[in-house]
Structure 1
Amino acid sequence: MTTRLEGLDLARALALCAMVLVNVHLAMGAPQGQPGWLAALFSALEGRSAATFVMLAGIGLGLGTRRMIWGEAAAHTARRGLFLLGLGLLNVLLFPADILHYYGVYFLLAALCLRLPSSLLVMLAMGLADLFVTLIFLFDYQAGWRWADLSYPEFWQPVGFARNLLFNGWYPVVPWFAFLLAGLWLSRQPLGERRTQWRMVLGGSLAALLAKGSSQTLSALFPAWASLFALAPLPPLPLYLLFAGGAACALIGLCLLLMGSAWRPPALALLLPMGRQSLTLYMAHILLGMGALEALGGLQGKAPWQGLLAALLYLLAAALFARQWERRFGRGPLEWLMRRLCDRRTASPLPHRRED
């Protein structure tokens, strides 16, 4: 019997909170003249929270399938990938910056990578970063985008869909799949050991600092090429991958340390159910949170602090809901549905009711 690594639940909850903040800010627009601290906050979160989510997905896949034979593990992962792909494509109709349909394709590709040697996982991740740079020079990264409103009119056309999915969408397979490969690699490490957790914190922090310093130095030395050394998530260039990946690794390691220590901040207990129901709460913040804002006319022309307040209120409600739902039923609604449809051998017919 294995012990659940609650630090992963905490990291997933924190990444969810950050994604909600970024998505609400994005949906409400980013008006000029917003307070400097608020602009800095959203800039720090943008792209980093999603990278953490994808890395955690890789860790979860590695841990969840390690006792399965390859064929069973690949089928299990592919079924979940198809579920997330379908759910994400439906979500795109409401929220164009959806990440779930990209997730679905990551999972389908991951089904082929579950048993690859660790060294090959690292080589593939680095190869994706290099491939993206090559594609930047071969193709027009701006193609398909309407930057004025961050829309992608060609998304539902075959060529536009493929281009968005693989190259220039919000979270394109090349190179974002590298984060999931990194998570698979991490899943093979002894994550329950404090030595490994400290290595993640220190190694991830050093990687992020190296990326930051390299970006500043190279941009100063080669100003004509400064755009290639940027840390922004669009486009996701190699230094961004190193920065976001390092920050994600450090955050996950820190969460593992916190939840494995004798002293745990009591407030963190409220976040753990959110991490275990992140799929449900991600969809809910779009369907319910943004849906309510749109119905109230709150998605345009509002001050940035109003968007921040709306996101924080949603997160508070989500934390309370997740805690009560977990006490009564266990798994979140969408988490249960995914297991019901994709893990047919082990899924139960109804959500479990917890006994106090």
Structure 2
Amino acid sequence: MATSNDRILGYDFARGIAIIGMIIVNFKTVMVAESSAPLYRALNLFSGKAAALFVVLAGIGMTLMYESGKRKNSPEKLSKVKSDLLKRALFLFVTGLSYYFIWPADILHYYGVYMTIGVLLLSVSTRILQWISLLIPLGYMGLLILFDYEAGWDWSTLEYQDFFTPSGFFRHLFFNGFHPVFPWVAFLLTGIWVGRINLRDQNKRTRLAIAALLTFTIFTGLSAFLQSQTGYFSAPEAEALNSLLGTGPMPPTLFYVFSSGGLSVFLITVSVQVCFSYPEAGWIRYLVSTGQLALSNYFFHVVIGMVAIELLFGRLEQSFSVEFAFGYALVFSVLLVWFSHRWRKKYKRGPLEALMRRVTG
């Protein structure tokens, strides 16, 4: 399914899925205290997965912009593409920090740093990008061993105590925040080299899907097997090992990065296939519109979705059942999908997307 400008709408479809996934996970994380309820445990399996998909898609988008500039065979056009990307990165960095007091788990300011690094690597070979994407999570495991991942955190409230100090801000941004630049930038770099693959080609799409699914399966299975062996250690040792061997996003171990990266790429290939197979389906068009307003929708789920609950009930954090949070996330997502489709019928870009374009050129 493509538009007149040859856009692969499967990417927008996947972005729509990512936004809905992030809404469900984020509402659960903020509104629900830790629980042993089956639904809570089920939703925990998706923690960090939708956000990883969001970042991989950002890398693909950067490649599409860069390749468009290359086709014009003009150094000036390529320079402008890089300049525009850097200005957008700064916009996202500032926007994300601007509402930190409402949403400390914001991904947009991290996103700005990922993009800045990505711009520096847009012209390197695919093989080098793949090696860097591989080495970053491996190197991060060394950092987890050498440094204290829990520094700055109050886990009972999920507050970062020295965020507004130079050392705390740097540590939070690059090492142990919600989406630290290392190793999360590996997702963006993966998206950059995936974006170079012609996913219109069925054979290439199938091979990539198989490789991605195998990566997800192998690292998820390996993580589960290794964690099952930690019972032979003392309780403190087992806890430390389980932290290093898990597929959860905090800390983002190599098992998390490779399993989530594999799942993200697999979902992207499936999304492209679905949009090619059912080009006129109404439900696809609704999710495509949602993905095309991804930046606005991410912002809305915080400043409208979460703030509305606090205004209505006078409370928000860890104050609701997982069933309420999940149901509210579904209702809010449906409304957001409807709004996105209605907006796209009238306007080319979402509200925040249009503001970013106006500010950055």
Per the normalisation by structure 2, the TM-score is 0.90
- Aligned 8 A contact 1:31 1:304 in 2: no
Does structure 1 residue 145 correspond to structure 2 residue 140?
Answer: no
Q: 1:134 maps to what in 2? A: 142
Q: 1:190 maps to what in 2? A: 198
CA distance in 2, matches of 1:220, 1:310: 35
Q: Deviations over 1:146-176 (max 9, x none)?
A: 0001110211111000000000001111100
- Aligned 8 A contact 2:212 2:266 in 1: yes
- Aligned 8 A contact 1:198 1:257 in 2: no
Identity, % of aligned pairs? 34
Superposition RMSD in Å: 1.6
Q: 1:155 maps to what in 2? A: 163
Does structure 1 residue 218 correspond to structure 2 residue 221?
Answer: no
CA distance in 2, matches of 1:66, 1:329: 26
Corresponding residue to 2:270 among 244, 251, 254: 254
Q: Deviations over 1:15-35 (max 9, x none)?
A: 00000011111111234243x
- Aligned 8 A contact 1:165 1:173 in 2: yes
1:261 maps to a residue whose letter is S
Structure 2's unaligned 5+ residue stretches are: 70-74, 234-240
- Aligned 8 A contact 1:16 1:49 in 2: yes
Q: 1:167 maps to what in 2? A: 175
Alignment size in residue pairs = 341
Displacement of 1:200 in angstroms is 2.8
Give 3-state SS (helix, strand or coil) of 2:159's partner: coil
Q: Classify 1:317/1:96 alpha carbon distance in 2 versus 1 (closer, same or farther; 3 Å).
A: same
Does structure 1 residue 334 correspond to structure 2 residue 335?
Answer: no
1:18 maps to a residue whose letter is G
CA distance in 2, matches of 1:301, 1:228: 30
- Aligned 8 A contact 1:73 1:111 in 2: no
2:92 maps to a residue whose letter is L
2:22 maps to a residue whose letter is M
Displacement of 1:44 in angstroms is 2.2
Farther off after superposition, 300-309 or 232-241: 300-309
Does structure 1 residue 272 correspond to structure 2 residue 281?
Answer: no
- Aligned 8 A contact 2:19 2:50 in 1: yes
CA distance in 2, matches of 1:314, 1:100: 21
Write out the 4+ residue segments of structure 1 that deviate beyond 4 Å after TM superposition: 221-224, 262-265
Give the number of the structure with larger relative contact order, counting CA–CA contacts within 8 Å between residues 6 or more apart: 2
Per the normalisation by structure 1, the TM-score is 0.92
- Aligned 8 A contact 2:244 2:251 in 1: no
Corresponding residue to 1:303 among 311, 321, 324: 321
Displacement of 1:269 in angstroms is 2.0
Displacement of 1:2 in angstroms is 4.3
Q: Deviations over 1:99-129 (max 9, x none)?
A: 0000011111111011011111111112211
